Amino acid sequence: MKDPNLIEMIRASRRRGQLKKVGWTPERFDLYWEAQGGRCEICNREVSREVSSSHIDKAYADHEHIEPPKPRGILCINCNLGLGNFQDSPELMAAAIAYVNKHK
């Protein structure tokens, strides 16, 4: 049987590495988490900062896709994927808004 403490240490280490790749630190993540009240900065949905949470409710550390990456805020999976799918392009997002408004 695996040691739960060891598993948690491995998860925390992996999370630190993931955050570092996108320009975040665990301390910065905690500051943003507190400032945002544990909610997605875009849609205000409650998200979990637990490393073991599911992808559905997990908090994602959003960042500008530049070198080096620049942290922006904490998002839910839907908002994070949405920005990625729109390639962080304000023009594409504006076109999507116009499209949705046109077809109301």
Domains of the chain with bracketed CATH: 4-77 (3.40.1800)
pLDDT for 6 equals 84
By CB neighbour count within 10 A (0-12 exposed, 13-18 middle, 19+ buried), where does 86 fall? middle
Q: How many CB atoms lie within 10 A of CB 21?
A: 11
Q: How far apart are the first and last CA of the chain?
A: 55
CB 70 within 8 A of CB 22: no
User: Which tens digit of pLDDT belongs to each residue from 10-53?
Assistant: 878 888 888 898 899 999 999 999 999 999 999 999 999 876 66
DSSP 65: S
User: Which tens digit of pLDDT belongs to each residue from 55-104?
Assistant: 778 899 999 888 898 999 999 999 999 999 999 999 999 999 999 999 98
What is the pTM assigned to this prediction?
0.81
